[in-house]
Structure 1
């Protein structure tokens, strides 16, 4: 049954192949190229619009700077008028735009120091603080060694011990127990004599 189905399918494909020619319907069959030129009027309109936008932006910037300058002058004149104190004993304190967040780092440091003092003085009486750290040799003494110097000495000592163990020791034993050399072969003699 599968052979007959395959045969019928192949016959249908062969009979429909002349109908599959799509040259007349293919969109590229009747393609005609077109030349597109640059439109000078459109380009000049875009350039003019860009220049107008730039001029408008510059005008806005100029207005902003004038407003800021005039407000600064008016604030300074108001501050001068208000800065005359009623009596010489009273200092005038002015805050211009200052926020509470300006002093935040200073306040944080003050609280940290207060906490440090509080916790360092709150030790139980009668108990000494014991540290489990190893004593450190001072560098100012003549005979004392630092921790780094001791570590380097120990590192050198372990390197010396490692040199005589493992693979190095095996290789030394291998060389010492090497069997006498076998007599040279003809090829080796030939190479030595001709020195290739």
Structure 2
């Protein structure tokens, strides 16, 4: 397989970071996480950025990080769930690598995020409703951008990473 950049998109709780780390190990590529990179650059967590600068401030920082990371060669990048909302992000992701949409149901997202205390968009009385709203808005963008779509509900990280590796290596594979 010709190695190039692989960018993982999808909702929070889809497994982008865990699958990305596993996939990078399998392919002997460098792993990056755009949310972690924002936190590393700013020295504060995303919840703090949301509190002080709002979602717009976070999205600006996220755009800068994604632009920088996608310019690297031979990486696997796990993006934040809302990264696809920005047209510039979509353009650089589409032009600088292969985009894999990790699809997860709202139920699976809720299960995987329920114990997390660093998800500012889920600080609401109805997290399931919020996840459904986010999916309605973002799923068309994930699909439009994706080279391939991989379902993650009820699956082990290694199994998902192996499927991505196999499908990216297959000639003329599409999502």
TM-score by length of 1: 0.14
The answer to which structure, 1 or 2, has the higher relative contact order (CA under 8 A, 6+ apart) is 2
Whose Rg is larger? 1
